[in-house]
Amino acid sequence: MKFPEKLIHLTFILFFAFSFGQNNFQKIDSIAHTANYKGDLNQLVFHLTENLQNEIDKTRAIYSWIIDNISYDYKLFNEARKSIKIKCKNKNDCNIKKKEYENKIIEKVLRKRKGICSGYSLLFKRMCELAKITCISIDGYVKTNSRHVGNTGILDHAWNAVIIDGQTYFLDLTWASGYCEKGENKKLKNFVKKKNDFYWFTPTDKFTIDHFPKNPEKVLNFDIEKDDYKNQPYIENSIIPFIEIENPEQGIIVTKVNDPIVFKFKYSKEIKKLQINTNLKRNPKFYSTNKKGEKVFNQKAFDKQEYINFDKINDDYTFSYKIEKDNLKYIEIWFDYNLKLKYLIKIEQN
Q: Can you give the pLDDT at residue 81?
A: 64
In a domain, 151, yes or no: yes
| Mean pLDDT over the full length of the chain | 90
Q: Is the distance from CB of 45 to CB of 110 less than 8 angstroms? A: no
**12: pLDDT strictly greater than 50:** no
Please say whether the dihedral angle defined by the alpha carbons of residues 134, 135, 136 and 141, taken in this order, is positive or negative: positive
In a domain, 252, yes or no: yes
Q: Where are the beta strands (DSSP E) in the chain?
A: 71-72, 114-115, 134-142, 154-164, 167-171, 178-182, 188-193, 200-202, 211-213, 234-235, 243-247, 252-256, 260-267, 274-278, 287-289, 295-297, 311-313, 316-322, 330-335, 338-348
Are 111 and 146 members of one domain?
A: yes
**23: pLDDT strictly greater than 50:** no
Are 53 and 26 members of one domain?
A: yes
Are 261 and 136 members of one domain?
A: no
Are 157 and 267 members of one domain?
A: no
In a domain, 82, yes or no: yes
In a domain, 237, yes or no: no
- Whole-angstrom Cα distance, residue 105 to residue 103? 5
Are 94 and 190 members of one domain?
A: yes
Question: 231, 260, 295: which is the final residue of a domain?
Answer: 231
Per the structure, the count of domains in the chain is: 2
In a domain, 2, yes or no: no
Question: 173, 201, 231: which is the final residue of a domain?
Answer: 231
The SS3 assignment for 158 reads strand
The stretch 159-184 carries a mean pLDDT of: 94
Are 110 and 220 members of one domain?
A: yes
The stretch 167-193 carries a mean pLDDT of: 91
Question: 198, 231, 264: which is the final residue of a domain?
Answer: 231
pLDDT, tens digit (0-9, with 9 covering 90-100), for 108-142? 999 999 999 999 999 999 999 999 999 999 999 99
Q: Can you give the pLDDT at residue 3?
A: 52
- Residue 297 belongs to domain with CATH number: 2.60.40.10
Predicted confidence band of residue 260 (pLDDT cuts 50, 70, 90): very high
**21: pLDDT strictly greater than 80:** no
Are 227 and 247 members of one domain?
A: no
Are 36 and 183 members of one domain?
A: yes
- Residue 94 belongs to domain with CATH number: 3.10.620
Which residues span the domain enclosing 219?
7-231
Are 56 and 203 members of one domain?
A: yes
Of the candidates 206, 195, 207, the one whose C-alpha atom is nearest the C-alpha of residue 25 is 195
In a domain, 1, yes or no: no
Are 177 and 148 members of one domain?
A: yes
In a domain, 98, yes or no: yes
Are 191 and 292 members of one domain?
A: no
Predicted confidence band of residue 303 (pLDDT cuts 50, 70, 90): very high
Q: Which residue has the higher pLDDT, 349 or 103?
A: 103
In a domain, 24, yes or no: yes
Are 306 and 276 members of one domain?
A: yes
| Torsion angles phi and psi, residue 203, rounded to 5 | -55, 140
pLDDT, tens digit (0-9, with 9 covering 90-100), for 188-236? 988 999 999 999 999 999 999 999 999 999 999 999 999 999 999 999 9
